[in-house]
A and B are shown apart, each in its own frame.
Chain A
């Protein structure tokens, strides 16, 4: 474990979770000219890293939190949000088109950055999935490329020196894994409740260091391996019918829908 304990937190700028996306007229993508914000699972990742930093401070152990985003120039807004939440510095890997940037390429960028960086991470905390591509891959792929252990879908994290204990959300319940850092953690919804950045912290975040690099600096080819042939609206449901009473509901379910 390096001194300080260093946590890298990859964050993604995505279409805001409350926006109902629409497919574009050309059927090649969704309309991305809508409100964006930090991927909700990444907020949880930043929060967890900052909480570890605060907890270790009480033990007189220093922690550095580094936020990283791979995307267009606008990804810097997301990095500033992470800095305002408590990250110490930020790294922006600028790509020309983030709509075609895929998890394998991001994992390779993060791996290459880790290899190149002098101040190496002890821990990566990522969101379990981005709410745009819903892939749920990057953390696992990065763990594979770095040959580090992975603890995905975390709902509880404990770090004691180099020992990492993580409770994970699995089908049917929870399981606990024990491993060692350096390691990868991906966050599930239940891990924590992210804080709001206060105005003073937003102002302070503007002065925190943010460096920009490119995929070329890292020697990584980010061209997509998966081609999107078309994007369509999902089938529409014919909903909206109301019934007046429980009796009518029972009747419809038995005689019309025939599901009871």
Chain B
């Protein structure tokens, strides 16, 4: 029973990623796409967690943490890029 639920939720999460991907492809503006990428990241976190349950392993917990950080950093970097055109600013004298 639990297996079926887990697989079902994995399918649903994959579908969510697919739908977010549609936003990446379509998204009229660049921020739409960046938000969609962020959402893919968050969905990945959930999906990795579900897959860990399916595979009955704790090996992927680091992946979840890392994804959390990276999705954040990535979104910040993109946002800064869209806003200022640079990711890392030079030192101001």
A, B from the same assembly: no
Residues of B within 8 A of A (CB): none
